[in-house]
């Protein structure tokens, strides 16, 4: 699936500014309707390091009422979280009714980083596909709007962004040894991601693979998908 993504897609600056403004107003209006309808919403981001997840999240939330959403950046589980089932720390962060929750990385770490880094036995991460499908089906059956993104960039573009981060004092905190180590395992992550899509792209919770070689295009596309999904859910 990743090889089929058209990374040449872009948008000119004036159109970007106009569409972003329109989408942000649309999302703000939808947020108010979500609160009244008691609709829980999860927006979940996966993708390559430096693929623009943070920038996309910022544009989606920039004009929202901050009282109605929460962004959870997900990293390795801490000492307390490791004492529980791996989904426990996500259960405790699920949205209340009428709330939007955004996960910057997610429960798919079980079949991505934990698989590639061999942090979890093969039989365990293989079993996780069924667990994740069941988990998401439960959420959707209870009325949750679940939107799953993968932001796709090329290996060359990632290298360019890594170097830009290292040379920018305002962004240098975004890059570290772990990012470079993950990059060395690019092909292994591609294999893991492809199997993840095959096993977990379902009618209840489809994946949206977004071309992110051009940041402005990805920001508009993710915001548009969210707005369209929310509009559809609010009409039910």
pLDDT tens per residue across span 17-76? 999 999 999 999 999 999 999 999 999 999 999 999 999 999 999 999 999 999 999 999
**Average pLDDT score over the chain:** 97
pTM value? 0.96
Using DSSP, state whether 69 is helix, strand or coil. strand
Q: 215, 10 in Cβ contact below 8 A?
A: no
Residue 77 and residue 175 in contact, taking contact as beta carbons nearer than 8 Å? no
The residues pairing with 147 across neighbouring beta strands, listed in sequence order, are 43
CATH of domain 2-234: 3.40.50.300
pLDDT tens digits along 187-213:
999 999 999 999 999 998 999 999 999
pLDDT score for 71: 98
Quote the strand ranges of the chain, DSSP E. 41-47, 69-73, 100-104, 145-152, 207-211
Which residues, at least 6 apart from 45, have a Cβ–Cβ distance to it below 8 Å?
A: 53, 56, 57, 102, 103, 104, 105, 106, 149, 151
- Taking Cα atoms as reference points, which of 35, 1, 19 lies closest to residue 218? 19
């Amino acid at each position: 699936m990743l090889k089929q993504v058209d990374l040449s897609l872009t948008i000119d600056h004036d159109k970007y500014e106009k569409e972003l403004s329109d989408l942000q107003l649309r999302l703000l209006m939808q947020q108010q309707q979500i609160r009244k309808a008691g609709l829980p919403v999860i927006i979940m981001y996966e993708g390559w390091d430096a693929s623009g997840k943070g920038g996309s999240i910022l544009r989606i939330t920039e004009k929202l009422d901050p009282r109605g959403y929460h962004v959870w950046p997900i990293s390795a589980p801490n000492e307390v979280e490791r004492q529980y089932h791996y989904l426990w720390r996500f259960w405790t962060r699920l949205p209340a009714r009428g709330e939007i929750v955004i996960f910057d990385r997610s429960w798919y770490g079980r079949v991505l980083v934990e698989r590639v880094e061999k942090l979890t036995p093969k039989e365990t991460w293989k079993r996780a596909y069924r667990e994740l499908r069941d988990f998401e089906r439960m959420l959707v059956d209870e009325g949750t709007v679940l939107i799953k993104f993968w932001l796709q960039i090329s290996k060359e573009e990632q290298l360019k962004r890594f170097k830009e981060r290292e040379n920018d004092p305002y962004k240098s905190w975004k890059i570290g040894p772990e990012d470079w180590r993950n990059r060395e395992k690019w092909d292994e992550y591609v294999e893991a991601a492809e199997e993840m899509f095959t096993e977990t792209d379902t009618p209840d919770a489809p994946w949206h693979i977004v071309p992110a070689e051009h940041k402005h295009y990805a920001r508009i596309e993710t915001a548009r998908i969210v707005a369209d999904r929310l509009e559809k859910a609010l009409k039910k």
